[in-house]
Structure formats: structure tokens, C-alpha cells
């Protein structure tokens, strides 16, 4: 088994190639958090009063809250006064610019990450919003999207240009005081992406936000709000990386999705934040609140996530199934290696009649990684004939890692159907030998087995991301033949 | 083709093979028979390079090269194929995916270009007929939910695709009903070739009615205790393994 363990660690212990630092002049707040910091942030962004009020009330709530401790993760307490709550490349100035004016250093940074911000060079059919530390630095294809009536812009721009939409939907799904990190985010969030798809519009391209943390001792607090009006459709992708640093950095984001009657939102994440080194030094603390609401009948929200990065992941993309016959889906691959810890899963809250939800979770643990699935399925009183199917599979590599499953089921309606399946397996020496006997290298064999394990999730990803996700797991493309 | 000399193999400290000798020439079919625990499957796995066995002495020369120095994948790429007694399941990985990767690894090793999808599919269809399998079979996950017969047919199908020089069949007949056995045997017979050697490990004579070997060796106590032509298998069938074991005991006593 030793040789196979080493192949596995070679495979997933590859260098973190996104770990470089961009030397760029920044406008950074000194560390610390109080009301003045929030006022300064709001002033800097030239925000209308409703935003400042919202932030301040969130801050008040946050101060009364306690950091949650129920997750299956352990870490040194975070000193929230040692974090800087705003950092922006100086060249970005007050607001987003046209693509021609973006600082070449930033363009180069994104190029190195494989994200071209020049529209002609980027993958056809994907529009990108690039968020660097606390601000959005560029958004591509805005005019093309505008023709279809789609709004896709940095959050701070939406606050200026579409205050009526922002004030209507901000906090509608994740209220300011929802939880400790969500409240912190509401108080200090600096940017993020805003999407609005009008009634009956099928968004003509994939939308994507690429988050990059660069500055030292800075937290990234972004907020994404996606509103899909009646009978519209949007597919949204999110990617993220950060430099390798010995200190832990905080990322506390909020994502809110609103799907009106008949609308469909597909939200995919490939999370590759710096995971820390082999000894567990450094890495991102990824404390994220993601929630979607199916507001109307037949609305559908689907979350797909591939989590390979971060020192700690604390994240439960959820769906509130309010409309009748609405559908929620959660597909997840979470990989923990070295000293990484992940406590991730989902919440499906069935409120409307004939609502259905599907949860497919694949946890892979290697090294000393700890991987926990935590999921809640709640069927409320009025949710006649609600259905849920949950499947949680864990794959262990080596004998120092751990996999844990915490399913919570709460059913208040006797007509509901709830199914839960869970398996735990070790990558088998016999499986490896079988593949090698057919001529595959040990590394390819591991890739193939891991890829097979994750197949049900990968097939939910848009093509571009499926490729990236598989490359991240060091796997080659399944199903290329036939 | 294959020359095994005084091979000793241990598992968890216990000796399983003890001074085993075997010579196989190109184009020959050898049957290795023996009672349970005689070391037949161990021998098959050692030839393929299973990491769970420790070779403590002896040598195995394959096409003039030291086979024991090679990783399992190198052996496979050089034409050594093992049809497994218990083929493993690999969930989520389709049969055809593994097969295409395997074919191309072997082609790469031979300095040939990768097969494109069209040529590959053509080859697949041709070989599927050999073992009477349907095309939908290709898209199922490897061995997952396969019946015993399907698993064994799949092994022979893979063998047909990979065109090995040395094919080792480990109890390919076990768990097969007579119809499935005929299909599998017919597939193997079609692959008999003057440049291909086959080593069949089996407990029962029954398989040898359908795949007639050139030589039969009887394994007992981790070594070849008797070799002969195909008629040896019939003798065994008549007298049972007790007959050989009695002879072996005598043999060992005279040596001591």
C-alpha cells in the first residue's frame, strides 16, 4: 500500500501554482474594525444611505453574536481586530473602468491564472467579473449582456446604478443577522458581483466571477446577489485562488440567489483557495454563507461545488423551496489533504407542495485531512408530497485522514419521502493493481478511480469548469470516448 | 518466451511457492492445475507483479528480460496480461474508458500512435463479437453489477483488445455455467496464435475439454510436481489430486 499512498500524495500534493503575489500599490485600511471603519468604507464607495444603515445594523448584531463552534473543525481564535477590511489596487481608483484602462499588472495576474480579461481572448460564451482583494477590477461582455437585458456588474456599481433592485433583494435570502460570518460580511463587504436576469430571458452566456485575494493580512468579504426573474435562466461559475502565505487569511463571503416563478439558476464553484502547507501553516479560512430561495412555483436552484482549497472550509449552500413544485439540488466534491479541514454540506428546506431536492456529496480525504459532510433536510408542515434523496460517499486515502457524516432530517409532514444513503470506502490496492495490470501508470490509475468516484458531480459542471475541476484533482476526462 | 527458475514466493512470511520451475515457448498453451492452496493463483499474480507477494528467490525471464524488476504496468505494456479470477469493481469508470486508456498505453509503449475514436470503436465492435457481448456493455462501470459470467467474458474481451504476448488466465472457468464456459473458451481459442503463449490456471479438468493445452503441469506444495501432455489432465480427473499428493509425499521422502 505504501507505493500507492505515495502516488496519491504526489498527485494531490502538487505545488500550488496559483500561490504567487502581485506587487501592486494598494489603498489599504489599517487593521481593525469599528463603526468608523464601516462609515469610511461606505463613504469610499459613495453609498446611498440605505446601505450605510444596513451595514451599521448588521455590525450591531454581529457584536452581540458569538462565533459558532459546532463545526467539526479546529483552529486558533481569529483576532478580528488584526484584519484589514479593505484593500484595493490604487490604480482602480473609485470605480470600475473600461477594460482598456485596467492596470497591466492586474491583467497579467489574471492571465497567469488562466483568466483573460480581454474579451477577444477569453473563452467564447463566458463573461467574467474579476474581483481583486476588496474590489472588482473588470467585467467583460457587459454590453453584449445588456442587449439581452441582463445586468452583470460589480456589486458596488449595482448600488449606484440599480439601487432599487439592490435595496429590494439585498438580504432577502441571507438576512444581515443570519449568522456570525454573514453578519460580519453584511457590515464590511466591499464588492462582489450582481446579476439580474429579466423575465423570460435565457442568459446568452455563462457568467463567471473570479475571486483573488492578494494583499497581506486582509480579509476578503464579497457578496454576490443573483436574481432570476420569472421564467429566466442563468448559469453562473465562481473560481478563486490566493497567494501562498504563512498567515491564515479570512474569506467570509455571502451569496444570495433568488429564483422567481419558473426560473432556473445553476451556480457552480471551483474553490481553490490556498490550502496551507503540509504542516498546516497558512491557508485561507473559508467561512461562507450561500443560500438560494425558490420564490415562485417551479423554480429551480442547483449548487455544484468542487472544494479543493482552503485550510478550513465552512460552507453549506442551501435552498429554500418556497414555491410549489420547486427543485433544489446540491452536488459536491470536497477534497482535504495534508492538514485541511472541511465541514461542508447543504440545507434543503421544503416549504411548498410537491417540492423535491437531491443531495450528492463526495468527500475525499487524504494525508491528515478531515472531511465532514453536514446536511439538513427539513420538511415543513405544508410541504405535501415533498421528496428528498441524499447520497453521501466518502473515499479515504491512507490511514491518517478522517471522514465524518452528520445528516439531520426533520419531517413535519407525513406525506414526505426522504431517502439517505451513505458509503465510506478506501481506494483499494486491488483496484489500483487491476488498472496497472492493464498498462496504466499508478498515478493515472488513482486519477481514474477518483474521477469515477466524483463522476456524478463533475457531470453537473459546465464544460469549462469540469475540465478545470478534473485538472485540479489530477484526473483525465471520463467519457471522452463513446 | 517465459522461463521461471527456482521461484520462491512468500506472503506474510509464509512460503507459498517453493522452487517452482516452468518453461513456456511462444505459441504454447500450458495448463497449471492443482488442489486449493497449491499456489496456482499466487503464481499467476506474481507473474503479473501483484505488490502483495514477496519473491524471495529465483528468477523469471520474459523475452530475455528480468520480469521481476518491472512494475506491473511495464509488464502489461510489454504484453503480459492477467485475466483475473475476481475482477474488481471500479464505480463510475466505464469499461470503455479503461480499455481505451489501456490500449493507448500499450500502443505508446510500442511506439505507435494513439487510436482515434473511430478506429478504436471499430476494433471494439470486432472484438465484442468474439465474446458475444453487446455494445451497451462498454458504457457500464467496470465490473459493477456484472454477473460472474459477464466479468469473465469482460476479461477475455480485454485480452482480445490488448493482444498480449503472454496471457495468464487465473481460474477463468470458475463460476461459469456450461454455456458461458463455451463462449469464453471459444474466445480464448480464437486468440491462440503462434506468437502468443497462454498459461491457464485451473482447478478443474472441465476447462481443458474446451481449451486443449499443449502441456499440463500439476502444482502441489508450491512447486511443479508433475508435467505432461494433455492426457495428464485426464489422469488427474480419474484419480483426483490425492493421487498426485501421494506421489509427492513419496518424492519428498526419497529426497530427505
Q: How confident is the model at residue A100, as a pLDDT? A: 63
Give the closest-approach CA distance of B34 to chain A in angstroms: 24
Domain boundaries defined on chain B: 2-255
Nearest to A22 by CA among A103, A81, A83: A103
The minimal CB distance from B76 to the residues A439, A452, A478 is found for A439
Pair B199, B169: CB distance under 8 Å: yes
Q: How confident is the model at residue A480, as a pLDDT? A: 21
Instruction: Answer with the residue of higher pLDDT: A482 or A20.
Output: A20
What would the grid cell of residue A397 be?
486515502
Q: How far apart are the C-alpha atoms of A435 and B102, rounded to whole Å?
A: 8
With cut-offs at 50, 70 and 90, classify the pLDDT of residue A436.
Answer: very high
Residue of B nearest to A479 (CA): B97
CATH number given to B2-255: 3.40.50.300
Which residues, given as ranges, of chain B have pLDDT below 50? 256
The percentage of chain A sitting over the pLDDT mark of 70, rounded to a whole number, equals 80
With cut-offs at 50, 70 and 90, classify the pLDDT of residue A465.
Answer: low
Predicted-complex ipTM score: 0.94
**Euclidean distance between the first and the last CA atom of chain B, given in angstroms as a whole number:** 34
The pLDDT tens digits of the residues spanning A380-415 come to 999 999 999 999 998 888 778 888 889 999 999 999
Pair B62, B232: CB distance under 8 Å: no
Average pLDDT of the residues in A339-361: 93
If you count them, how many residues does chain A have? 482
Q: How confident is the model at residue A337, as a pLDDT? A: 79
Count the neighbouring beta carbons within 10 Å of the beta carbon of residue B239. 12
The model's pTM is: 0.79
Q: How far apart are the C-alpha atoms of B93 and B7, rounded to whole Å?
A: 36
Q: Which residues of A touch B77 (CB under 8 A)?
A: 439
With 70 as the cut, is the pLDDT of residue A135 above it? no
Give the closest-approach CA distance of B94 to chain A in angstroms: 7
Torsion over CA of A332, A338, A343 and A345, rounded to 10 degrees?
10
Q: Which of residues 42-71 of B touch A (CB under 8 A)?
A: 48-52, 71
Q: Is B78 near chain A, with CB under 8 Å? A: no
Nearest to A302 by CA among A253, A254, A358: A358
Q: How confident is the model at residue A353, as a pLDDT? A: 97
The minimal CB distance from B97 to the residues A428, A436, A479 is found for A479
Among A134-148, A221-235, A290-304, which is the least confidently predicted range? A134-148
Q: How far apart are the C-alpha atoms of A381 and B215, rounded to whole Å?
A: 75
Measured CB to CB, residues of chain A less than 8 Å from chain B are: 3, 428-431, 433-442, 444, 448-449, 451-456, 476, 478-482
Q: Which residues of B touch A395 (CB under 8 A)?
A: none
- A vs B: CB pairs below 8 A: 98
Q: Which site among B52, B70, B72 would you substitute to test the A interface, given the most A Cβ atoms closer than 10 Å to its Cβ?
A: B72
Amino acid at each position: 500500500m505504501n507505493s500507492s499512498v505515495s502516488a496519491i500524495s504526489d498527485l494531490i500534493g502538487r505545488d500550488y501554482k496559483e500561490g504567487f503575489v502581485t506587487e501592486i500599490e494598494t489603498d489599504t485600511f489599517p487593521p481593525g474594525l469599528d463603526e468608523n471603519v464601516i462609515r469610511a468604507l461606505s463613504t469610499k464607495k459613495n453609498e446611498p444611505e440605505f446601505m450605510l444603515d444596513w451595514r451599521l445594523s448588521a455590525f450591531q448584531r454581529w457584536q452581540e453574536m458569538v462565533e459558532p463552534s459546532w463545526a467539526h473543525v479546529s483552529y486558533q481564535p481569529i483576532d478580528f481586530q488584526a484584519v484589514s477590511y479593505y484593500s484595493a489596487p490604487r490604480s482602480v481608483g473609485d470605480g470600475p473602468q473600461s477594460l482598456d484602462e485596467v492596470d497591466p499588472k492586474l491583467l497579467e495576474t489574471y492571465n497567469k491564472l488562466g483568466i483573460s480579461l480581454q474579451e477577444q481572448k477569453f473563452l467564447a460564451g463566458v463573461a467574467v467579473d474579476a474581483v481583486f482583494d476588496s474590489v472588482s477590477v473588470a467585467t467583460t461582455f457587459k454590453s453584449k449582456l445588456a442587449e439581452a437585458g441582463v445586468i452583470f456588474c460589480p456589486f458596488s456599481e449595482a448600488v449606484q446604478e440599480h439601487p432599487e433592485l439592490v435595496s429590494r433583494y439585498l438580504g432577502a435570502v441571507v438576512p444581515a443577522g443570519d449568522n456570525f460570518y454573514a453578519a460580519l460580511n453584511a457590515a464590511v463587504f466591499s464588492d462582489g458581483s450582481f446579476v439580474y436576469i429579466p423575465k423570460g430571458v435565457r442568459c446568452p452566456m455563462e457568467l463567471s466571477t473570479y475571486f483573488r485575494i492578494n494583499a497581506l493580512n486582509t480579509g476578503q468579504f464579497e457578496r454576490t446577489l443573483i436574481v432570476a426573474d420569472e421564467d429566466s435562466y442563468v448559469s453562473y461559475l465562481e473560481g478563486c485562488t490566493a497567494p501562498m502565505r504563512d498567515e491564515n487569511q479570512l474569506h467570509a463571503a455571502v451569496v444570495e440567489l433568488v429564483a422567481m416563478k419558473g426560473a432556473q439558476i445553476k451556480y457552480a464553484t471551483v474553490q481553490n483557495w490556498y490550502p496551507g502547507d503540509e504542516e498546516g501553516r497558512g491557508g485561507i479560512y473559508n467561512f461562507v454563507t450561500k443560500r438560494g430561495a425558490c420564490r415562485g412555483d417551479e423554480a429551480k436552484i442547483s449548487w455544484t461545488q468542487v472544494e479543493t482549497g482552503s485550510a478550513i472550509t465552512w460552507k453549506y449552500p442551501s435552498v429554500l423551496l418556497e414555491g410549489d413544485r420547486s427543485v433544489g439540488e446540491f452536488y459536491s466534491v470536497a477534497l482535504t489533504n495534508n492538514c485541511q479541514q472541511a465541514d461542508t454540506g447543504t440545507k434543503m428546506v421544503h416549504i411548498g407542495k410537491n417540492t423535491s431536492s437531491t443531495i450528492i456529496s463526495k468527500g475525499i480525504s487524504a494525508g491528515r485531512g478531515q472531511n465532514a459532510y453536514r446536511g439538513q433536510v427539513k420538511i415543513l408542515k405544508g410541504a405535501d408530497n415533498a421528496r428528498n434523496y441524499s447520497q453521501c460517499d466518502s473515499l479515504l486515502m491512507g490511514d491518517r485522514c478522517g471522514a465524518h457524516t452528520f445528516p439531520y432530517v426533520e419531517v413535519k409532514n407525513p406525506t414526505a419521502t426522504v431517502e439517505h444513503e451513505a458509503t465510506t470506502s478506501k481506494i483499494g490496492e486491488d483496484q489500483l493493481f487491476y488498472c496497472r495490470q492493464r498498462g496504466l501508470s499508478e498515478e493515472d490509475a488513482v486519477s481514474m478511480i477518483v474521477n469515477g468516484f466524483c463522476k456524478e458531480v463533475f457531470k453537473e459542471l459546465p464544460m469549462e469548469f469540469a475540465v478545470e475541476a478534473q485538472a485540479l484533482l489530477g484526473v483525465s476526462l471520463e467519457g471522452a470516448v463513446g | 518466451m517465459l522461463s521461471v527458475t527456482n521461484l520462491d514466493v512468500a506472503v506474510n512470511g509464509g512460503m507459498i511457492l517453493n522452487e517452482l520451475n516452468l518453461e513456456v515457448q511462444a505459441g504454447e498453451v500450458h495448463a497449471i492445475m492443482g488442489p486449493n492452496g497449491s499456489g496456482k493463483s499466487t503464481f499467476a499474480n506474481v507473474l503479473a507483479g501483484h505488490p502483495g507477494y514477496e519473491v524471495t528467490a529465483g528468477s523469471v525471464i520474459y523475452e530475455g528480460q528480468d520480469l521481476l524488476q518491472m512494475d506491473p504496468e511495464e509488464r502489461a505494456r510489454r504484453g503480459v496480461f492477467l485475466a483475473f479470477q475476481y475482477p474488481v469493481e471500479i464505480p463510475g469508470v466505464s469499461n470503455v474508458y479503461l480499455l481505451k486508456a489501456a490500449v493507448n498505453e500499450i500502443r505508446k509503449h510500442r511506439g505507435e500512435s494513439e487510436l482515434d475514436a473511430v478506429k478504436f470503436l471499430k476494433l471494439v465492435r470486432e472484438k465484442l463479437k468474439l465474446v458475444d457481448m453487446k455494445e451497451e456493455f462498454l458504457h457500464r462501470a467496470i465490473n459493477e453489477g456484472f454477473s460472474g459470467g459477464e466479468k469473465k467474458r469482460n476479461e477475455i474481451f480485454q485480452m482480445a483488445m490488448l493482444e498480449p504476448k503472454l496471457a495468464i488466465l487465473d481460474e477463468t472457468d470458475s463460476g461459469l455455467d456450461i454455456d458461458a464456459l463455451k463462449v469464453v473458451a471459444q474466445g480464448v481459442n480464437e486468440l491462440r496464435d503462434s506468437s502468443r503463449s497462454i498459461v491457464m490456471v485451473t482447478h478443474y479438468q472441465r476447462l481443458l475439454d474446451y481449451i486443449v493445452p499443449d502441456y499440463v503441469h500439476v502444482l502441489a506444495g508450491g512447486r511443479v510436481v508433475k508435467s505432461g501432455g494433455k492426457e495428464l489432465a485426464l489422469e488427474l480427473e480419474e484419480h483426483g489430486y490425492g493421487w498426485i499428493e501421494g506421489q509427492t509425499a513419496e518424492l519428498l521422502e526419497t529426497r530427505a
